[in-house]
């Protein structure tokens, strides 16, 4: 009898153990921190080859997580890439063709689009955006309309003032729907954003509530500005700005550690586009901005406002202790447009991602499960239209001649869909093999007409799809 009871007891315990093994304990949803620099080039970090810039905290991210070498901003200017980050769609599909000027009638309208912060907030996340918004300054287009619980920052770029941009609107540091500081000193912006981000992390961790922090720095966009504590630390003003920006990332990560949530937080750092290395003449009024006040595209051709690699290829670092392998380098093509489905998936919200997103869940790349480049399509949105396409190693670029040397991105003063200013220049078609020729020096279109035809058909089909 005793032996029978013992056997039964062992069976019961065994079944219970098996059931426990088959039903893993629920994992806490990760906190998410996305840090976006403004106009920072692919080659601006020490971990991406810059010989002078001191970026120890960003270099630590590269050692402790993923460093991507084929990461793309979907557009080569600020408002479009920010729209893509939040919606998971290419900007020309959501009515964001170019940077919005103050009091513009255009913007990212909350009633028309589902955003990442909306999805996260609806499932219990606390959400905050700190820094530069630049997706419309009118009601219905502001941060609190798009699923953010808190906003502290600027509604557009800090150069939207005399002598750079002629506008009757005065810059202000906003707190929610209130103007908190009129015409803030740009030298205070990095420090202000950092303090607000750190306070948000501390408060949310104390409340034991998952959070999404979108920290959109204004630097190193011109006019360059740095606090007194960081001025003169390096060999250039740009280097000083980079050093203070790097310190901000260090403070944010230290706050995560101090709050005890670093191990359950995904931290991503990237840029909205490449460096503004061909600024228009309007930026040089009163000798405030110097022609060399910009970063470097590294080995790539071009920069901001163009569809060569230098305008779109950006640094991309991701850290999540225990989930993203330390020291991982990936050349798999990924895009900022992938952040919505990827981050929603890690929060267990894949089913809430709209079916029409362009981005992919690239978690296999971030985690290291996919080591080689995926045969996926990368699209290059520029000025409200797809101008280039990459599939595997091949990139087709279909463009028009620039209207002037160094022409910057247009300001979107019209509503999307309004007419242009005249006839377009002649079309230019170029084909590059990015693995053989990453600097895009050798046009292969004449030698491979079949590749041109295939990619052109795909590019035209994507341009026609909204």
b vs e for 129-167, b when ≥16 Cβ sit within 10 Å of the residue's Cβ? bbbbbbbbbbeebbbbbbbbbbbbbbbbbbbbbeebbee
Q: Which of the following CATH numbers is that of domain 31-367: 3.40.720.10, 3.40.50.2300, 3.30.230.70, 3.10.129.10?
A: 3.40.720.10
Q: In the chain, pLDDT over 70 holds for what percent of residues?
A: 88
Structure tokens at 179: 């103007």
Query: 56-64 and 237-258 helices cross at what angle (nearest 10)?
Result: 50
Angstrom distances, CA of residue 248 to CA of 61, 186, 344: 13, 15, 26
Can you tell me the mean pLDDT for 137-164?
A: 97
Q: What is the pLDDT, as a whole number, of residue 373?
A: 59
Q: Residue 370's pLDDT band (boundaries 50, 70, 90)?
A: confident
Residues of the chain with CATH 3.40.720.10: 31-367
Q: How many C-beta atoms lie closer than 10 Å to residue 172's C-beta?
A: 16
Angstrom distances, CA of residue 244 to CA of 153, 226, 257, 326, 392: 18, 7, 20, 25, 37
Q: What is the 3-state secondary structure (H, E, C) of 140-163?
A: CCCHHHHCCCEEEEECCCCCCCCC
Can you tell me the mean pLDDT for 313-318?
A: 98
Q: Which of 320, 321, 364 is nearest to 342 (CA)?
A: 364
Can you tell me the mean pLDDT for 35-48?
A: 98
If you count them, how many residues does the chain have?
A: 466
Q: What is the pLDDT of residues 394-413, one digit of tens each?
A: 999 999 865 544 444 444 43
Q: What is the pLDDT, as a whole number, of residue 415?
A: 35
- CB neighbour list of residue 403: distance below 8 Å, 6 or more residues apart: 425
Q: Residue 27's pLDDT band (boundaries 50, 70, 90)?
A: low
Please give the positions annotated as active site: 78, 134
For residues 260 and 425, give the distance between their C-alpha atoms in angstroms, rounded to a whole number.
Answer: 57
Q: How many C-beta atoms lie closer than 10 Å to residue 244's C-beta?
A: 24
Q: What is the pLDDT, as a whole number, of residue 201?
A: 98
Residues of the chain with CATH 3.30.1120: 377-415+422-464
Q: Which of the following CATH numbers is that of domain 377-415+422-464: 3.30.450, 3.30.1120, 2.60.40, 3.40.50?
A: 3.30.1120
């Amino acid at each position: 009898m005793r032996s029978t009871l013992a056997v039964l007891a062992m069976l019961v315990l065994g079944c219970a153990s098996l059931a426990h093994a088959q039903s893993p304990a629920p994992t806490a949803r990760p906190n998410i921190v996305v840090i976006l620099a403004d106009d920072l080039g692919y080659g601006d970090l020490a971990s991406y080859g810059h010989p002078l810039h001191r970026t120890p905290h960003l270099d630590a991210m590269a050692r402790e997580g993923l460093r991507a070498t084929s990461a793309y901003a979907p557009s080569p200017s600020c408002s479009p890439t920010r729209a893509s980050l939040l919606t998971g769609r290419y900007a020309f599909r959501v009515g964001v063709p170019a940077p919005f000027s103050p009091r513009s009638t255009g913007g990212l309208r909350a009633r028309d689009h589902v955003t990442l912060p909306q999805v996260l907030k609806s499932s219990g996340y606390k959400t905050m955006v700190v820094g530069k918004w630049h997706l419309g300054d009118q009601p219905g287009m502001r941060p609190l309309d798009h699923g953010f619980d808190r906003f502290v920052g600027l509604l557009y770029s800090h150069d939207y003032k005399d002598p750079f941009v002629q506008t009757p609107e005065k810059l202000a540091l906003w707190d929610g729907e209130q103007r908190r500081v009129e015409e803030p000193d740009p030298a205070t912006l990095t420090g202000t954003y950092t303090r607000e981000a750190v306070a948000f992390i501390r408060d949310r961790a104390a409340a034991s509530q998952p959070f999404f922090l979108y920290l959109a720095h204004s630097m190193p966009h011109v006019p360059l500005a740095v606090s007194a504590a960081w001025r003169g630390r390096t060999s250039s003003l740009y280097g000083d700005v980079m050093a203070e920006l790097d310190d901000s990332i260090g403070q944010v990560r230290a706050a995560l550690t101090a709050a005890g949530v670093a191990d359950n937080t995904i931290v991503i750092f990237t840029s909205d586009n490449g460096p503004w290395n061909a600024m228009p003449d309007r930026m040089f009024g009163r000798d405030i901005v110097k022609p060399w006040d910009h970063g470097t595209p590294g080995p790539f051709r071009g920069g901001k406002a163009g569809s060569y690699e230098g305008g779109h290829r950006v640094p991309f670092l991701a850290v999540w202790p225990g989930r993203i392998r330390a020291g991982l380098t990936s050349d798999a093509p990924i895009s900022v447009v992938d952040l919505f489905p990827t981050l929603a998936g890690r929060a267990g919200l894949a089913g809430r991602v709209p079916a029409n997103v362009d981005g992919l869940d690239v978690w296999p790349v971030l985690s290291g499960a996919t080591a080689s480049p995926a045969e996926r399509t990368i699209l290059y949105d520029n000025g409200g239209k797809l101008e280039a396409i990459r599939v595997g190693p091949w990139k087709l670029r279909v463009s028009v001649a620039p209207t002037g040397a160094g022409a910057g991105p247009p300001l979107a003063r019209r509503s999307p869909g309004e007419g242009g200013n005249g006839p377009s220049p002649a079309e230019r078609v170029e084909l590059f093999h990015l693995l053989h020729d990453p600097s895009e020096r050798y046009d292969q279109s004449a030698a491979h007409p079949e590749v041109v035809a295939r990619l052109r058909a795909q590019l035209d089909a994507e341009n026609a799809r909204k």
